[in-house]
A and B are shown apart, each in its own frame.
Chain A
Amino acid sequence: QVQLQESGPGRVKPSQTLSLTCTVSGASIRNRDYYWSWIRQPPGKGLEWIGYIYDTGNTYYNPSLKSRVNLSMDTSKNQFSLNLNSVTAADSAVYYCARVKLVEVPSWFDTWGQGTLVTVSS
């Protein structure tokens, strides 16, 4: 059974960098049938796709966040990570990591982590 678990600080100060890690169990992040993604949800609002990473580190990002986002992978630990810099209160959200099934293109988010709330506050 595939499981994803987010970890990282629950509070980040404005202008600093938000860093989260997703640990995957029950599947290898080197499996080329899947991509690995981050999605966030501000309190009381909808879902926003942040980006995904695949293979040995190829990435695609939401254009609205591209200048501030970096995703990375650590295959030795079966983890992938999110860094979002220059954060503001608008970046406060529940952050989810998710596995993306690859068909001809990345097709659907089949497994999600439980989510972790990050609050941007001084």
Chain B
Amino acid sequence: QSALTQPASVSGSPGQSITISCTGTSNDVGYYEYVSWYQQHPGKAPKLLIYDVNNRPSGVSHRFSGSKSGNTASLTISGLQAEDEADFYCSSYTTRSAWVFGGGTKLTVL
């Protein structure tokens, strides 16, 4: 199974908005509404940020939002803050009863 495709890096200035894309196939992102996003700070475990494409767990800022169109999911972070700087991973369940992750995107807050 191939990893989902994410840009290696994105950047933005404080207060700006950025979007990270996550492209899969009709067997994963395009099939299920079970795309999730994770934020990972250096040396830390990943943390659930978005589930079911566009739902936030309790405690996650409203500045984080998700969407999906066809085989591509997106994570948008609005009002960038310095503490948002981290690695972000998308993930999807697949028709082969397996999970696949994106390669990860490093967010730099300028």
Contact = CB atoms under 8 A, between A and B. Distances in A.
Interface string B22-51: 000000000010101010000011111001
Nearest to A114: B45
A46 B100 CA distance: 11
B46 A63 contact: no
Interface residues of A, number: 25
A105 interface: yes
Contact of A47 (B51, B96, B104): B104
Interface residues of B, number: 26
B103 A46 contact: yes
A37 B93 CA distance: 13
Interface of A: 37, 39, 46-49, 52, 60, 62-64, 96, 101, 103, 105-115
Nearest 9 pairs of A and B residues by beta carbon: A108-B51, A49-B99, A108-B36, A112-B45, A46-B104, A47-B101, A107-B34, A46-B103, A60-B97
